[in-house]
Amino acid sequence: MGLIVQKFGGTSVGSVERIQHVAQCVYEEKEKGNDVVVVVSAMGKSTDQLVNLAKEISSQPSKREMDMLLTTGEQVTIALLSMALNQKGLEAVSFTGWQAGIVTEPVHGNARIIEIQTESIDAQLSAGKVVIVAGFQGITENGEITTLGRGGSDTTAVALAAALKADTCDIYTDVTGVFTSDPRFIKNARKLLSVSYDEMLELANLGAGVLHPRAVEFAKNYNVSLQVRSSMERIEGTVIEEEATMEQNLVVRGVAFEDEITKISVLGLTDSLTSLSTIFTTLAQNQINVDIIIQSTTEMGNANLAFSIKSDDLQETISVLEDHKELLGYGQLSAENKLAKVSIVGSGMISNPGVAAKMFEVLATNKIPIKMVSTSEIKVSAVVEERNMIRAVEVLHAAFELANIEAEVN
């Protein structure tokens, strides 16, 4: 007997059949004697369809009206899921974000949750009902409808789990858990039974996109026990919690990778004291995300700078830099395309100084040149040529013995 928050994303509720399947998952949890709160996203492509309607009308629609428009998507899903639960003989009640008491800051498109007033949900749970909450949305103190931005439904689920003091928050996805690497590419990748919040944050940021980083951060701050699991198969997923309890001896817990990276080199910066901040402020103002940044100073007092971006942003990055050449005061500009980032992640690294060295050695032994390097306490990333990416992941996955961990396979 406990309280479970379940979250189902857009693919999991993409059709009437999928919604009926979700109803079955909820039914089984309820049968175990648990109270259940379900958070759902908009059905499959419905958000995209709404965005397209808006784009037909305006290239820059008002953010307030986009929130008004997009929040209808989850509202459709909660109503249909509630009906599907009724069909199974379960009493259910659906709540929009505002009905669920999800109060956010007065910002449209990317609001943060300030608090959750749980009275309405509490009352319905006490009455024995399944409560279905529209993810991704909230309300300001002035009654304006807001959305939480990307990963919003994950955040809604985690925030509700925290506010309701739920025993666990199950994030249902189309994969069975978090893996040591992407099983679509690395054939002996293993499912991890547990990872820590910080490891999950690094993995999520690195494109192992089963869970939005913001939701993981929220879970970490409120110590919410999360589980990533499959909506299709009834097997244990991966638990995300303060300290990964299993496989404690594992220094590296996963190898993540991401292609379509471009390295930009800016040579001969004249005034390195202010030019660095000027460059990245200018890029940020133009919505260009920069990942790894390396700076070195030459003996003549000039600075050289290299940073990595998504290849998609190449054209705009170049034109922004060229437009501001005089202001930024640099000599030469060059770009190297078709790169990829390979990263090893694990909390155990903190107390194992040799991990980065081992990574470089493994790559060198396999004749894979490293273009850039970046490190954090629990992660080492290396930028390599795109054509070497999968092989780099394979040799690292093998070298850190990730295929040998005692977890379920797939």
Interface with a copy of itself (CB under 8 A): 16, 19-20, 50, 53-54, 56-58, 61-62, 64-66, 68-69, 71-73, 75-76, 78-80, 82-84, 86-87, 93-94, 96, 99, 120, 143, 145
Minimum CB separation of residue 11 from a copy of itself in Å reads 17
SS3 (DSSP) at 377: coil
Minimum CB separation of residue 214 from a copy of itself in Å reads 25
Nearer residue to a copy of itself within complex by CB, 46 or 194? 46
DSSP bridge partners of 344: 255, 380
Rounded Cα–Cα distance for residues 50 and 57 (Å): 11
Would you tell me how many other CB atoms lie within 10 Å of the CB of residue 99? 17
Minimum CB separation of residue 104 from a copy of itself in Å reads 16
CB-based contacts of 344: which residues, under 8 Å, 6+ apart? 252, 254, 255, 355, 359, 379, 380, 396, 400
Minimum CB separation of residue 13 from a copy of itself in Å reads 12
74 annotated as a binding-site residue = yes
Minimum CB separation of residue 391 from a copy of itself in Å reads 47
Minimum CB separation of residue 106 from a copy of itself in Å reads 14
176 annotated as a binding-site residue = no
Nearer residue to a copy of itself within complex by CB, 4 or 90? 90
281 annotated as a binding-site residue = no
155 annotated as a binding-site residue = no
End-to-end Cα, the chain, rounded Å? 29
10 annotated as a binding-site residue = yes
| DSSP code of residue 81 | H
SS3 (DSSP) at 133: strand
Nearer residue to a copy of itself within complex by CB, 94 or 176? 94
**DSSP run (H or E) holding 239:** strand 238-241
Nearer residue to a copy of itself within complex by CB, 34 or 75? 75
Note whether 236 and 222 are within 8 A (CB).
no
Nearer residue to a copy of itself within complex by CB, 81 or 363? 81
179 annotated as a binding-site residue = no
CB-based contacts of 86: which residues, under 8 Å, 6+ apart? 92
Note whether 263 and 371 are within 8 A (CB).
yes
Closest CA to 317 of 327, 307, 304, 302: 307
Task: Map tokens 């290239």 to a residue.
Answer: 59
- Indicate left, alpha or beta for 200 from its phi (over 0: left) and psi (-120 to 50: alpha): alpha
Phi, psi of 42 (to 5 degrees): -70, 155
47 annotated as a binding-site residue = yes
Phi, psi of 35 (to 5 degrees): -80, 145
Rounded Cα–Cα distance for residues 301 and 268 (Å): 9
Nearer residue to a copy of itself within complex by CB, 86 or 404? 86
Nearer residue to a copy of itself within complex by CB, 76 or 370? 76
Minimum CB separation of residue 95 from a copy of itself in Å reads 9
* Residue numbering of the annotated binding site: 7-10, 47, 74, 173-174, 184
Query: Binding site for substrate, residues?
Result: 47, 74
Annotated binding site for ATP: 7-10, 173-174, 184
